[in-house]
Chain A
Amino acid sequence: MIGLSTVASTEGLIIGILCGLVPLLAGIYYRQWQAGIGGFIACVMSGFACGFLGGIPMILLTYAVLISKVYVNRQDPFTSLASLDEVNFEETQNELFMRRMANLGNTIRSGTSALIRNKAGFLGFLGIMFFVIVTVFGPLFIEYEGTARLDRRQPGARSLLAPPSYEHPLGLDWQGRDVLSHMVHGGQKLIVTSILAGLFATVIAVVVGSLAALLGGIVDQIFSAIANFILTVPTFRLLLVLATIVKFDSNLALALLFGVLNWPTLMRAIRAQVLSLRERDYVEVAFALDLGLWHVITREVLPNMISYIAVNFIFTIRVAMYSIVGLVFLGLVPLQEPDWGVMIFLGRQQGVLFNPTASGMLLSPIVAIALFQLSLVMFTRSLEEVFNPRLRSGL
């Protein structure tokens, strides 16, 4: 009922509809038809996708957006011109809840409008969403063809390969299997592992980089020395060597390894950023007011670096993806189908590089990876806008 087990089932749909009733009724109550119906649809879709795991958070988000639209009319002690004694600063729990909802809703709205504002960025976002949805939910609709399909052999043909046709839009692979099904099932692992790898690298880099820059002295020297040491190691070649010794069969391990090997580059960039932010007057004042190192890192420095970190995060995902595909292509990772990288590997191994009928099998994963990378790059254009505080309007 709760999690992914309800994906794309009628149970999920029912959960979604139930959740959707909340924003719908609220929309009717507050006379915000657009927000109400939009919220309903969003809840249905996320419930359908993830059951309660998707439905409940969506209720919160859509309700917040709704409230933010009507909150303008609320009375706020700060806006009244009454004298200090007359103003009542007490807030009931209800009012506090409403205010929090409205703030959340405003943030969501300004974030989405910033996202949409940059056309290239929005296109990239759609591209990413497309791939994520296809690789995560596609497998529910399209069956995976794992075994060889000798029955598909065309009379007189020398192999089971086939170019794109009406029945099989991406063609057949060397075992006569539908390439489309492989594409749909084979992307999830790669995308998830790349994102995880990027996440690990970024988190380590941010923690190490900020501490090094803010604490300075011996801490900075130690961290920088470690980073410089790792940087001198040629990562990819190290992975090659390791692959001969260790079996990379766990995606998590692979992501972790990538993270451990790739954080130094990002760390140096983060450290430079934090060093420059550290000199800002408002950071000096934060220390003068004795707000504490934790506060300075999390509330003063990081919020001004989020767009920088986010863009670098995306960049690291890209590098991770190429590294992982590279490893698979070279056959250094235990091959397990379905997998885009394996499709490229097999394509080369089976010698289909020079065979036009194999176009589906070979080009599909390559084009998919290239398009996904392109979407990531374009998406970074939006990230700058989304995180720019100057574009937030305030109340």
Chain B
Amino acid sequence: MTTTPLLELKNVYRTFEKDRQPIPVLQDVSLAIQPNEILCLVGESGCGKTTTGKIIAGLQTPSQGQMLVNGKPLSELSHHEQKDFRRAFQIVHQDPFASLNPAHTVEQILSFPLLRHGMVASRPMLRRRIWELLTQVDLTPPGDIVNKYPHQLSGGQRQRVVIARALTVQPKLIVADEAVSMVDVSIRIGILKMLHRLREQFGMAIVFITHDLAIAKYFAWQGRIAVMYLGRIVEIGRTPDVIANPQHPYTRALLAAVPEADPDITRRKRPMKLRSEDIPSLMSVPSGCAFHPRCPFFMEGVCDHDVPQLATLSDGAQSVACIPLAQDGKLTLYG
């Protein structure tokens, strides 16, 4: 089955310059996102998930590598087509207060993109569209919200306004960068369900970036999860597979380390013992497999020498970047 992916990243690298030192934020990242797909990017701070999201949304450009939209390389698109692409990929940020201009009312915030791109023909049409959008994100009655300033809304309400704003340009893909992390726990599910509903209703793909594995599992259950570590994807596959059968040592470590809202289960969990407590920084990425200094399955001479590539295992369903696993099909604890 080969449908053209909506967006494809091929061997993308992204390097930042800090004090004349190059910092490899992303290394050799390749991803294909199908239309209407849900993809979750998970990892800890510094893994590059936010940068990947911004590149997908068109807010940053890769230092190296290709980006293909509907099969065509971005560089080959005309200026007009590039602008359309810009609009088709939108982003929802983490901090709902920082992503709304404090000087504008909700009505103004939603009017700007609608008017700018000529999506409404008249003033009454504009008001009707705003009404529709607010209803779609469950901000009812719209009259209560429309003339308010961001500081008068709760965190959950603000985030819904942000999503409504992203919907004004009818995007094909939304990048949600920790979109519910700063929202109360009891409200998160509502917003996630709304995102599911909007995806079905409008046919959008959603790239969900988070460090919360439980939320990632809930949101992307029908989709895929990609686990990132120090700028690379170490494991990617269907969510039920990755959660129930994690392959990569880092994924296993993560899943074993997360506490659960269930006393019996969480107290019986045994965390994975890592070789070192030190967290490497992006300034000095370890050689070979970036996880090797901490990996309990470290194979000397192999893991610190060669960079593992993503490969699908014979009996597994997901792709993993781990050399011992690729060689032996299983992992053995060394030392």
Contacts and interface: CB of A to CB of B under 8 A. Distances in A.
A89 B95 contact: no
A304 interface: yes
Interface string B99-129: 1111111000000110011000001110110
A89 B124 contact: yes
B102 A390 contact: yes
A390 B149 contact: yes
Interface in A277-319: 280-282, 284-292, 295, 299-300, 303-304
Interface of B: 57-59, 83, 86-87, 89-91, 93, 95, 98-105, 112-113, 116-117, 123-125, 127-128, 131-132, 135, 141-144, 146-149, 151-152, 162, 165, 168-169
A79 B141 CA distance: 7
B83 A290 contact: yes
Interface residues on A, range: 20 to 34
B135 A84 contact: yes
Nearest to A303: B103
Contacts of B169: 289-290
A76 B99 CA distance: 28
A299 B58 CA distance: 22
A350 interface: no
B86 A76 contact: no
Given A282-B99, A292-B116, A91 B123 contact: yes
Contacts of A91: 123-124
B93 A285 contact: yes
Contact of A84 (B98, B100, B131): B131
Interface in A299-341: 299-300, 303-304
A80 interface: yes
Interface of A: 76-81, 84, 87, 89-91, 96, 280-282, 284-292, 295, 299-300, 303-304, 389-390, 392, 394-395
Contacts of B116: 289-292, 295
Given A285-B165, A394-B152, A300 B128 contact: no
Contact of B91 (A78, A81, A285): A285
Given A84-B135, A392-B149, A282 B128 contact: no
B59 A288 contact: yes
13 contacts: A79-B143, A81-B141, A281-B95, A284-B59, A288-B90, A288-B91, A289-B165, A291-B113, A299-B112, A300-B101, A304-B103, A389-B102, A390-B102
Given A288-B90, A289-B169, A389-B151, A78 B112 contact: no
B141 A282 contact: no
By secondary structure, the A interface counts as: loop
Given A78-B131, A80-B143, A290-B117, A281 B86 contact: no
A103 B251 CA distance: 55
Nearest to B105: A394
A393 to B, nearest CB: 8
A76 B124 contact: no
Contacts of A284: 59, 91, 93
B59 A84 contact: no
B87 A96 contact: no
A284 B165 CA distance: 13
A395 B135 CA distance: 19
Given A84-B135, A89-B125, A299-B104, 16 more contacts: A77-B131, A80-B141, A87-B128, A96-B123, A285-B93, A288-B86, A288-B90, A289-B116, A289-B169, A290-B83, A290-B87, A291-B113, A291-B116, A292-B116, A300-B101, A303-B101
Contacts of A287: 59
A104 to B, nearest CB: 14
B138 to A, nearest CB: 14
B86 A290 contact: yes
Nearest to B103: A303
A394 B147 contact: yes
A392 B147 CA distance: 11
B128 A289 contact: no
